[in-house]
Amino acid sequence: MGSGKGRIRRAQVAVAVSSTQETTLSSGVSYSMRAWQKFVYENELGKMKLYRYYLGGTPKDCGVAEHEKVITELFKDMVAVGAINLPEPHQASEFVFRMAELKSWDRQVSIALKDEPQQGVRFSDIVYCFDERQVIAHSDVSYALYQISRALNILIGE
């Protein structure tokens, strides 16, 4: 089981972001790179490795379950700090992430509603974001924020 740091910090952080710093998509999902950067900066996470933060260490061989946990915890933090805003009545706990088996470097990830797991939206160009060596402040993690928001827009907008 993970270290729980993400859950602890989610409870401690409240970020106010002006509407000029947000991008709202057609489904009502909005995202703010600035809110994510503020969270990283204020919690001094710039050099923290993504997998160490969410798993409590960096496993030698990450499997699908570890990758899914990191993506899920990262998403929960992004929602908690206002980097991703979900339209009413949606909550972060309603969504699940699934990663296809790791047969190549191209890690196919999908996001779905827990109640409709077969209706997920796949996205694969976040492969570089979820790497055991990646730090939380890296631009690839911010790119993952954008990609997750786009996938949510498709999923919720259907």
The tens digit of pLDDT for each residue in 38-87 reads 999 999 999 999 989 999 987 777 778 888 899 999 999 999 999 999 99
Which residues form the domain of 153? Answer: 5-157
- Between 54 and 20, residue with greater pLDDT: 54
Rounded-to-integer distance, Cα 34 and Cα 3, Å: 26
Predicted TM-score (pTM) of the model is 0.81
> 144: buried, middle or exposed (CB in 10 Å: 19+, 13-18, 0-12)?
buried
Question: Is the pLDDT score of 90 beyond 90?
Answer: yes
What pLDDT does 78 receive?
Answer: 94
CB atoms within 10 A of CB 137: 17
Q: What is the pLDDT of residue 107?
A: 67
- Cis bond upstream, residue 87 (ω within 30): no
Q: Is the pLDDT of residue 7 over 60?
A: no
CB contact at 8 A, 77 and 10: yes
What's the structural domain count of the chain? 1
